[in-house]
Amino acid sequence: MSETRFTDSHEWVRLDGDTATVGITRFAAEQLGDVVFVELPEAGRKVGAGAEAAVVESVKAASEVYAPVGGEVTESNAALEAAPAKVNEDPEGEGWFFKLKGVSAEDFAKLLSADAYAALVKDH
């Protein structure tokens, strides 16, 4: 069973077994506008919770994507390099950025629930 949690910097992480998939939220994608480029981490890179892990550039701005939880990158979404617009089309699905292993369940549990994240962005 997978569960999705969120950060107040607008990343999501979906934990499925011992694999965590990370991306940016629909709210973040909408705020960025049309995504034109992504820079993804290489497999084998270790990232700490809250550390910069990727970059997303849109017609409006360039933004860092932070790792919601620490772990080792096992895979990046190579499809985004050829088609960065996937981030806008399906930010919480096909537009994922990278996958991690070795994630702490304790760190994951500290992140925002879907309801808490919805309350955070409700007035924006």
Instruction: List the one residue out of 22, 30, 17 whose CA is nearest residue 6.
Output: 22
Residue 47 or 2, more confident: 47
Instruction: List the one residue out of 118, 96, 115, 114 whose CA is nearest residue 5.
Output: 114
* Per-residue model confidence as pLDDT tens digits over 87-112: 999 999 999 999 999 999 899 999 99
Q: What's the whole-model pTM score?
A: 0.95
* Per-residue model confidence as pLDDT tens digits over 5-47: 999 999 999 999 889 999 999 999 999 999 999 999 999 999 9
The per-residue pLDDT for 1 is: 60
Domains recognised in the chain with CATH numbers? 2-119 (2.40.50.100)
Residue 23 or 124, more confident: 23
The per-residue pLDDT for 69 is: 96
The residues, ordered by sequence, that sit 6+ positions from 74 with a Cβ below 8 Å of its Cβ are 19, 43, 99, 100, 101
The per-residue pLDDT for 2 is: 79
Q: How far is the C-alpha of 41 from the C-alpha of 60, rounded, in Å?
A: 22
Helix, strand or coil for residue 99?
strand
CA angle 67, 27, 69 (to 5 degrees): 15
| Strand intervals (E) in the chain | 2-6, 11-16, 19-24, 35-39, 46-47, 52-58, 62-66, 71-76, 98-101
The band of 66, judged by pLDDT with boundaries at 50, 70 and 90, is very high
The tokens for 95 are 């537009």
